[in-house]
Structure 1
Amino acid sequence: MASVDIEIAGRTYPVACRDGEEPHLRSLAALVDRKAREAAGALGNMGETRQFLFASLLLADELKEAHGGNAPAYDATPDPAVADALERLAERMERLAERLESRG
């Protein structure tokens, strides 16, 4: 398992990925970074969590437009492995947000 440091909105985050996927992860991070900076530029000073929220919304909007105005097909059947991974990610993001807010 490889580890990559990615920078988004001026902060560096260590992220694990499969060996050989480092360049792909860096390119995705660069896209998210551009959107986070775009959101901050358009909306002014905001917290990191809100900046990531708006960056996500901008990316989702682009994805929807790329699919002719329709969101990609979505299978509502939950995958337990994906649900567990998303839950762990959400918990990790909440802990990170709490740490960042306590620094402010």
Structure 2
Amino acid sequence: MAQITVNINGRSYRMACEDGQEAHLQALAEQFDALVKQLRSSFGEIGDQRLTVMAGVMGQDEVFELRNKVSVLETELEGLRGTRDQVMERVQQSEAQLVTQMDEAARLINEMAERLEGL
């Protein structure tokens, strides 16, 4: 298991992560730190713990909103898949009808050709 040091709100924290995930964890920590700094600039010195909690809650709010959007998109995708399946079924039915009609036309053409040869 890998370990890295991240900086959040001017403090260093040693954190463990799966091997190969170091850059990802570092990027997450940098995003969180940026949010804490943004809150500090908006609210001033309200305490490190309060800033951290506010940043955590804001992050959770964003996750909540994104989950809702994903849920809506998944529902829409399922609807589109159903529509696609219906369209594909209609296309297959149309193709089958076309093949039947072409076979019938070919049969009639052959029948006419045989009649003409008999004249």
What TM-score comes out, normalization by structure 2 length? 0.52
Bigger-Rg structure (1/2)? 2
Query: Would you say 1:54 and 2:54 are equivalent positions?
Result: yes
**Match of 1:17?**
17
Unaligned runs of 5+ in 1: 71-104
SS of residue in 1 equivalent to 2:5:
strand
**Deviation digits for residues 25-60 of structure 1 (CA, Å, limit 9, x no counterpart):** 101101111111122111110221111101011112
Structure 1 vs Structure 2: percent identity of aligned residues?
33
Q: Which has the higher contact order (CA 8 A, sep 6+)?
A: 1
TM-score by length of 1: 0.59
Aligned residue identity for 1:29: A
Aligned length: 69
In structure 1, C-alpha distance between the alignment counterparts of 2:42 and 2:61, rounded to whole Å: 16
Question: What code does the residue aligned with 1:14 have?
Answer: R
Return the structure number with greater helix share.
2
Match of residue 91 from structure 1: none
